[in-house]
Structure formats: C-alpha cells, structure tokens
Amino acid sequence: MSVEKLIFEKGAPGRRVDTMPAMDVPTEALDSMVPSNMLRKEPAPLPEVSEIEVVRHYTHLSQRNFGVDTGFYPLGSCTMKYNPKLNEDMAVLPGFAHIHPLQPESTVQGVIQLFYELEQYLAEISGMTRVTLQPSAGAHGELTGLMLIKAYHESQGQGHRNLVLIPDNAHGTNPASATLAGYKSIEVKSDPQTGGIDMEHLKALLESNAASIAAIMMTNPNTLGLFDSNVAEIATMVHEAGGQLYYDGANANAVLGITRPGDMGFDVVHFNLHKTCSTPHGGGGPGAGPIGVKEHLVDLLPGPLPAKGEQGYYWQDPGPQSIGKVRANKGNFGVLVRAYTYIRTYGPDGLLHVAQSAILNANYLKHELSSDYDIAYPQICQHEFIATAERQKEESGVTALDVAKRLLDFGVYAPTIYFPLIVHEAMMVEPTETETRETLDYFASVMRQIAEESRTNPEIVKTAPHTTPVGRLDQALAARKPNLRWMPGQEQTH
Amino acid sequence: MSYIPNTREDQEAMLARLELPSLEALLSPVPENVRLRRPLNLPPALSEPDLKRVLYATAAKNKNLDTTISFLGAGTYDHAIPSVVPHLQRRSEFVTSYTPYQPEVSQGMLQAIYEFQTMVCQITDLDIANASLYDGSTAVIEAVLLAVGPGGRGEVVVSQGVDPQYRRVLHTYAHARGFQVKEVPLRDGLTSIEDLNEAVSAATSAVVIQQPNFFGSIENMSAIEPIAHKGKAVFIATITEPASLGVLASPGEYGADIAVGELMSFGNTMSFGGPALGFMASKLKYMRLLPGRLVGQTVEEGGEKQTGYVLTLQTREQHIRRERATSNICTNQSLLAVGAAIYMAALGKQGFYELGELCLQKAHYAYRQITALPGFEPVFHAPFYDEFVIKSPVSTQKLQQHFAQADIIGGYDLSLDYPDMKDCLLFCVTETRSKEEIDRLVAVLKEVQA
C-alpha cells in the first residue's frame, strides 16, 4: 500500500513543460490594453513541475486505475465491452480531431457526411424515422426526449399532461430527467414473477390518471436483464391513454438486429453510444446520447440536422416547432466517429451476433454462479442478470458489498451492487460479448471461492480488498468533512 | 471483422452446458410480434484496412487546422496541445475505465480529478469545483438551475454578450422547466450597465455575464458585481476562453458566486466542438447544491489511515436521490478533465501567465494591423482580450472566397447570429498564430480592399 504524492507536492518554483511559442509580435503594456481593475492581481498558483515529473506522475496514476484493458469488468447496465483500438485511431485523425465547429460547410463535408450516415444507421437499428446526434450522454438524451414529448403534447393542446410513469427497477437518471423536464414521476411496480411491468398496476395507474399521463419510460430488456414480453400491449395501453413511450437505450446491446424499439411501439429512444457502440467510458465520459423519434416528433427535434443536396452536404435549420438547441455545437463528434467505425466494422450480421453473444455469455455465467449464489430471476436472461448475496448474508453476514470488494483482490472489477433497488443484496452482472469463455470460467471460480470463504473464513471477505493500492475508504468521513481540493500546507498520510 | 473472441465451437460448448440447442433459443423471451425477421439494412462489414481507407477518405474531405491557418474562435479556441498531454491522457487504464464507483481500484482517476478540481479553483480563485459537466452551454444551465432552485420560477437575467448558442440552450431549458429569461442588450460591445440595473430586481434568481464576452470585449465586472448582488441573485460568470484567466481578473477577484464555462481548449482536441468540457466552480456555500460528480479526499477505514480518494456527497446525485437529485447528469466528461489537468500541470504557474499574455498581445497586434487598412473598421471600442469585431468594406461572401484561395479560415460571420451585423467578422488570435501568419491574413485583406 502506498500513496502517490499530489502534483502540488511535487516540483520546484520555476519548473514547467517548456512548449510555449515565443512572443514574436511587438508588445504593449498590459494596462494600456486592459483596464487595471480587470487585470489579475496574483498569478494562478498552478503546479510547477518539469516534463519528466508530469510524465511520471500521470503514468503512476494510470497504473493505479483499473480498466477494461486491465481485466474483466462485469459492471451491470454499463456494458463494459472491449473498446477497439481502431476506433481510437480513427477519432484522432487530424481531419476529424482538428476541426473547428464553426468552419464553413464547404470545409467540413466529411464531418457532415459522417453525421448524415450515422443518423441513418441509428434510425435503422432503432426502427425510428429520424435521429439527432446532439445530446452529450444518455441522461442528456433522456431529457431531450422528454422535452420533445412535452412539446408534442403542447402542440396537441395536451400541455396539462404532467405525469411520467417509471418502473421501480429503472435507472436513477429516468426520474431525475423527468423532474428536470418539469414532470412528476410515478413509480410502476414490477411483477415479482416475470420481472416485467405489473400489468394490473399499470392499468390502474392509467385509469386513475388518464388525462394526466404524459409518458412512460422503459428499458427493455430491463435492469433485471429480462425482456418484458408484454411490451406491445403496454404500448397500446399507454397510447390509448394519450401517453408517449420513451425507450431508455442503456441496455440496447441486447436487442441489436433482434428487435427494435420502434417496432415495439416506442415513440422516442436514446442510445448510449459509450455502451452499445463500444466507445470508451473514459472514467466517466465522454459519452454520446443520440435520440431517435417517430414521424410525429420529427419537426420538434433540436437542430440543425445534416442534409444532403446537389451541392453536397449541409446543415439544415430546424423549423419553427423545434424545441431549440440542447447544447452548443452539433454533438460529441469524437465519440460519433468511434461509433460510426464500430457499426461499419460489424455490419448487419455482425451486430446481430454481438447481441446474441452478449446474451449467451450472460446466461452461461448465470448458470455457472447459480449453485453458489441465489439468482433473483432464474429464467432465461438477456444481456445481464442479478445474482444476490442473500444466502451469504444470512449464513455469515457477508454482504454484496463485501463480495464486490473481495473480487478486486482477484484482478476483476465488481458487478453493479445494490441496484436495481427492488432486489436485496443485488449483484448485477453484465459480461458483454467481448469476453472469452475462460474469463467467464475464471470469474465463476473466483465467485465460488468467495462463497466458500464466506462459509469458512468470512473475515477475509468482510475486510477485503487486501491487495489493492488502498483498502476500504471512509466514505462517511468524506461526506461529513468534505475535502474537495488541495490547499497549501495540506499533506497526505502515508 | 469482429471483437467477439469465442468461436462457434466455444459457443456450441457453452450452449450444451445450458442444455440449449442454439443461440436462437436464448431469444425465446422476445415475442414474435416485435421480432425483426430480416437483416438490418446497413452497409456490410469491412475489414480493418478497408474501413481505414473509408475513414481516411472521409477525413480528407475536411480542412483541418494542422494545415490551414484559422482565425476562428467564437466559443471554441485553438490552443496548442503539448505532446505529453495526449500520451498520458490516452493511457488505456484511464480511457477504458468506468466512473470510479470502486475507489480501491480507481485511485488514479479519482486523484487526477481531485487535482483537476483543485486547478479549476486555482485559475478561478473560487473555493470548490466539480469533476466536469458536458460543455460550457450546459454548465451555464446547471448554474442557473442551481440558482432557480427546485420548483423555482424565478427570473434569470442574461447578457446578450453571452454566446448566442448558450442563450439558445438556456431558452430551451427555461421553457421545459418553467422559468423566465430576460436578456440585457449591449452598448458598444459591452453589457449595458443601465439596462442591467433596470433588469435586476428582487425576483431575479441569477445574473449571467460572459467574460470576455462573445465579441471578445472585456466586461467591467467590478461595476456589474454590485448590480448583480443588489438583490438575492446568484452572480454567474461564464468563461469560454479560459486562457484569458492567465492575465484577466478572476471570478473570485471580482466577486462572482459561481464560475462556469468551457475547458475543452485546454489539452483536448476541438473535434468539431465535441466532446467538450464544461466546468463549474463556486463559493463554498453551494457545495451541497452542486450538480455532477465530486471527488473528495478521505482515509482508509481501520488501522492504517492512508489517504485515498472517493466520489463523495453522492446523495445529491440521480443514482441515490432519483427525482430529487440536484441534476440528472451521469456520464459526462472525466477523460477530458484529465486532459485539462495534465495541460494545466504542464503549463504551470509561469506558462499559464505566458499563455494569457501571448493571446492578448497577438490579438492586439492583429487588430492594429487590420484597422490600419483603409475600410476595415473596428465595430466596438471596448477593451478586448483575444477576439475583436471588424466591419469589412466588402461582403463576407467575397472575403470568404479570398480566404479560401489563401487557405485561411477567416473570422466568424456575425450576421449568422446578429442579422444587423452585416459584413462584420469576429477574429480570434491565439498563441498558435505566428506573426507571419497574422501578416498573411492582413495581406489577404489588403488585396481584397484593392
């Protein structure tokens, strides 16, 4: 166990990475150009470190971080699949990376073409009429989609509709996005047997709130990894009640080429390109959250949208019904280049095989864990499943958190734990299609060992991890006495 | 081409273990009435060399700034990226990791973001900063939403010196959330102090001013601050050109409550404007209201008490607080924050000041040269940082043709956003433009004039 000094604790006055160009123009006194009250009084006290110190510092930090390239990352609902190196290379081509967003259209024909084609691919994959690539991430896509639904209801004289139905196993972003869009969320229960939406509860909610329902937000397969086979019926019921259907695409890796949100009856869908299309997560972004819509919502989309004319590609301004922009510029282009490369790598048959293989890996792993852990829903799962530590907790007090921490000692990342909230001691496992059978077998053997340790030596599990750069950290202290920045004189404890 | 490692034989063995006949059997939960029974209509798969050829050709259709001289800014700035930055930022342990939910194996990312938060505080002179937001425009929104509060319907006062794209985004959100936005006009390129004073009232929840503003003009923040604070409003400073903080007064110095803006230009490629890097720094009192991730320092549980880093104050966030979260933000811009941190560490105290001064001096040199040409008139007379507005004696279209012939990307055509600013161009000159390149721009303008 060791600490890496903070960058502020390294270096010496006067040191720097010396890359700044020379002052090659005649200069004037600063206070002749800027009023003195608008000049900075003290220089910003940034670190003073040399190039070799910067390189070693961040190299060391990277060595204290676990990624998909380091090992297995079965983090449920996060789709931590392998991120192809080819996609990284394409995204940094100068013709894509060193482009200003306000360059004249004639100088960015390739950019607009890529937007145009990727939109069409995503529309086909999702079964929607039109796609916008503007939203920056999944939650941003959710918010944009709800704004579109709101604008649609307003255009139909139904602006009073203010309720969004959200299943009890939904991602936390769904209710948070609903609030941001000015909606109130109502929870829909899930059926304890099927794991899908409780149809009786849905029916009751639709009947008692008929005039107020704006939309339902669904993930299918849901966060239990289960495909809700009532989806077409749900779509009919919600539409009859005057609501719209929003598809949270966080789990879209399971449906590629198998089924499409548009065909299930959804009106709006978002993609997480950093999940389904394997753009890297970058320790928490950047992502991209394009949304697809059906015909009746196309005129409301944020713009501008790419178009193709006789003179080449161009940006088309949206009409007067558009909800307006949801961010500056056109979208996370660097992420879009990677997603485009990914789709063209696989083609139609390959994408279908991606989904099938992800589903096979999940079912295989579920089977391998089922003798030692309770499986929340034993039926065939799709891309992910929920194992639990209920048995271990009862027998020896070992919790899902303990199992997660012990896994880190064996060079694998932990599953998503305590989510969805409706399953006790949940461990949500999503292996993805890019893992070998041997890796899955290794994970299963480690999980079996931890189950065995829980019976024979629970302390080793409860005090894990033991081999990581730091042990379990005091979260309560961090929240009670927040220290969010370094201050001069502050030292780390070693 | 495929990244699926298991062969057909592997998959058959796995299916046998599950006692299933085929992959199709795994799809039985998907009812026939929603199944897609045809291949997706997409272009066929390509091999790596073939796909590279396609993308090289697409990229080659774009003029890139490695080989073209650009004087475009207007919210996105061309600052040189030291080679150390991409080499370190692209280490795959950073690139291929998730949001650091398991801190024991994510100390590298967590410490890098803690250091980023500290550096943002150092350049803004504010108390705390978050881990990042999507971009400058949504950072303004998040600050405004913080000021308006849950269910709040207060009025937001925003200067027309704020980037027009940002204001468009603000209006989109204001409609959805149900608050009013009042825009304050400019006078000679600066926020009109009189109009601002009239606009701010007891009902104002936020005052948003960009510094330097969209036209590059340096606002008199010392005069604006008492007006912004005459009621209960939160004073929000927006910074799209962070190099300015090397020499211009910081938000902390002029009394802003929150500083938000764009840091993409620090160490990250501009990639046609995205992914970008929104930031937010604030006074300490807003700590529990901040949106997005926050990294905090703590110690180990138990005996050793070694220092470590964790995501903290998570009860603000959507995955815990759900519909009552301070924001819906989840995945955003961590890797870009790491890039910006490496960039700021590389420049250091001295380099950051030099960057600030280089942009200022070079832009003023360009301004003097251009305004010395007959017919090219300055539109405003306010002090400016590294952007300025010039009215051209010939049409913007004609100018663009001359620029294209000289392989120059000239200034931004302001009539696109301000219809009454016909033939007005916003020029930006950063440290990346050499004197020789500036002189070439001036030579082209001279030719046009002739």
Q: How many residues does chain B have?
A: 450
Percent of chain A residues topping a pLDDT of 90: 97
Question: What b-and-e string marks burial along B358-374, b requiring 16 or more CB atoms within 10 Å of the CB?
Answer: bbbbbbbbbbebbeebe
Paired tokens of A119? 């939109």
Q: Is the CB of residue A61 less than 8 Å from the CB of residue A68?
A: no
How high does pLDDT run on average in chain A? 96
B49: contact with A, CB 8 A cutoff: no
- The residue behind tokens 């939910």 is B101
Of B78, B108, B166, the CB nearest to A65: B108
Is the ipTM higher than 0.90? The answer is yes
Q: Is the pLDDT of residue B304 over 90?
A: no
Paired tokens of A181? 């869009």
pLDDT recorded at residue A443: 98
B383–A34: do the CB atoms touch at under 8 Å?
yes
Of A26, A84, A482, the CB nearest to B365: A26
| Contacts B360 to A, Cβ<8 Å | 30, 33-34
B65–A282: do the CB atoms touch at under 8 Å?
no
Q: What average pLDDT does range B189-215 have in this prediction?
A: 97
Nearest to B17 by CA among A451, A440, A225: A440
Q: What average pLDDT does range B18-44 have in this prediction?
A: 97
pLDDT recorded at residue B151: 67
Segment 186-225 of chain A within 8 Å of chain B by CB: none
The confidence band for B320, taking pLDDT boundaries of 50, 70 and 90, is: confident
pLDDT digits (tens, 9 = 90+) for A422-433: 999 999 999 999
Paired tokens of A452? 């065995």
Percent of chain A residues topping a pLDDT of 70: 100
Of the residues A25, A32, A434, the best mutation for testing chain B's interface (the one with the most B CB atoms within 10 Å of its CB) is: A25
Paired tokens of B145? 């939403």
Measured between alpha carbons, how far is A313 from A4 in angstroms, rounded to an integer?
A: 50
B353: contact with A, CB 8 A cutoff: yes
pLDDT recorded at residue A210: 87
A49–B348: do the CB atoms touch at under 8 Å?
yes
| Contacts A58 to B, Cβ<8 Å | 88-89, 91, 112, 338, 342
pLDDT recorded at residue B315: 83
B109–A65: do the CB atoms touch at under 8 Å?
yes
Of the residues A20, A126, A160, A246, the best mutation for testing chain B's interface (the one with the most B CB atoms within 10 Å of its CB) is: A20
Q: Is the CB of residue A414 less than 8 Å from the CB of residue A73?
A: no
Q: What average pLDDT does range B49-59 have in this prediction?
A: 98
A40–B247: do the CB atoms touch at under 8 Å?
yes
Pairs of CB atoms within 8 A across A/B:
721
Task: Tell me the one-letter amino acid at B182.
Answer: K
Q: Is the pLDDT of residue A1 over 60?
A: no
A463–B304: do the CB atoms touch at under 8 Å?
no
Q: What average pLDDT does range B179-194 have in this prediction?
A: 97
Residues 6+ apart with CB under 8 A from A28: B361, B364
A27–B102: do the CB atoms touch at under 8 Å?
no
B70: contact with A, CB 8 A cutoff: yes
Q: What average pLDDT does range B91-95 have in this prediction?
A: 98
3-state helix, strand, coil in chain A (%, to 5): 40, 10, 45
B443: contact with A, CB 8 A cutoff: no
A147–B14: do the CB atoms touch at under 8 Å?
no
Q: How far is A455 from chain B (nearest CA, A)?
A: 23
Q: How far is A204 from chain B (nearest CA, A)?
A: 22
pLDDT recorded at residue B287: 96
B397: contact with A, CB 8 A cutoff: no
B324: contact with A, CB 8 A cutoff: yes
The confidence band for A264, taking pLDDT boundaries of 50, 70 and 90, is: very high
pLDDT recorded at residue B124: 98
CA atoms within 13 A on the CB side of B308: 29
Q: What average pLDDT does range B398-405 have in this prediction?
A: 92
Q: Is the CB of residue B274 less than 8 Å from the CB of residue A334?
A: yes
Beta strands in A317-469 (DSSP E): 374-375, 385-388, 416-417, 426-429
Measured between alpha carbons, how far is A87 from A69 in angstroms, rounded to an integer?
A: 15
Q: Beta B234-239 vs B258-262: how paired, if at all? A: parallel
| Contacts A26 to B, Cβ<8 Å | 365
| Contacts B77 to A, Cβ<8 Å | none
A126: contact with B, CB 8 A cutoff: no
Measured between alpha carbons, how far is A354 from A82 in angstroms, rounded to an integer?
A: 12
The confidence band for B450, taking pLDDT boundaries of 50, 70 and 90, is: low
B36–A258: do the CB atoms touch at under 8 Å?
yes
Q: How many residues does chain A have?
A: 494
Of A44, A433, A475, the CB nearest to B245: A44
Measured between alpha carbons, how far is A187 from A175 in angstroms, rounded to an integer?
A: 9
Q: Is the pLDDT of residue A207 over 60?
A: yes
pLDDT digits (tens, 9 = 90+) for B110-168: 999 999 999 999 999 999 999 999 999 999 999 999 999 876 668 999 999 999 999 99
Q: What average pLDDT does range A444-456 have in this prediction?
A: 98
How high does pLDDT run on average in chain B? 96
A137–B330: do the CB atoms touch at under 8 Å?
yes
The confidence band for A145, taking pLDDT boundaries of 50, 70 and 90, is: very high
A16–B346: do the CB atoms touch at under 8 Å?
yes
A480: contact with B, CB 8 A cutoff: no
B62–A8: do the CB atoms touch at under 8 Å?
no
| Contacts A465 to B, Cβ<8 Å | 104-105
| Contacts A88 to B, Cβ<8 Å | 90, 95
Percent of chain B residues topping a pLDDT of 90: 92
| Contacts B365 to A, Cβ<8 Å | 25-26
